[in-house]
Amino acid sequence: MSAIRHGVSVGIARIDNEFFLSIKAFGKLKHEDYLKINPMIDSALKGVKDPYINAFIDGSEFQGWELRAAWDDLKLDLKYSHKFSKIAIFGNKKWQKYAAKIGTWFVPVKLNISKILSRQ
């Protein structure tokens, strides 16, 4: 039996109190993935007064969350909701667009959703 690939790649850059967060999620995210993501973000923002976060999320290989990971994602969103300035989401599934729109109920932010064009 082969292992199912899942996980997250995170990049964080900073200029003064403005952060550029890039996330590429692939497969179905698990609670263990958030045990890695959360400390990275917490560490980057630690001690920064009034940080502003601009985020790019690549969901082109993202397949969803396990239940506990979905809860982890919501908690992360709520924890930093007032610090996000802009979020851009790159995805290829209709459900991702709806999930992103629902997310704006919890994170009041300017949202840009891009769709991958079919390459077939």
Q: Which of 4-8, 48-52, 58-62, 94-98 has the lowest mean pLDDT?
A: 94-98
Looking at the structure of the chain, the number of domains it has is 1
* DSSP assignment letter at 83: G
Could you tell me if residue 120 is inside a domain? no
Q: Average pLDDT, stretch 27-53?
A: 91
Task: Please state, in angstroms and rounded to a whole number, the distance separating the CA atoms of residues 115 and 120.
Answer: 15
pLDDT at 76: 87
pLDDT at 79: 87
Kindly report the number of other CB atoms within 10 A of residue 58's CB atom: 18
Which of 53, 49, 44 has the alpha carbon at shortest distance from 86? Answer: 53
Ramachandran bin of 82, using left for φ above 0, alpha for ψ from -120 to 50, beta for the remaining angles: alpha
Amino acid type, 12: I
State pTM to two decimals: 0.73
3-class secondary structure, 65: strand
Could you tell me if residue 1 is inside a domain? no
CATH number of the domain bearing residue 58 = 3.40.50.10600
Structural domain of residue 33, as residue ranges?
7-115
Could you tell me if residue 46 is inside a domain? yes
Kindly report the number of other CB atoms within 10 A of residue 59's CB atom: 23
Could you tell me if residue 90 is inside a domain? yes
Task: Please state, in angstroms and rounded to a whole number, the distance separating the CA atoms of residues 92 and 77.
Answer: 22
Could you tell me if residue 23 is inside a domain? yes
- pLDDT tens, 71-117? 998 898 888 888 888 888 887 766 566 666 656 655 555 555 554 43
Could you tell me if residue 2 is inside a domain? no
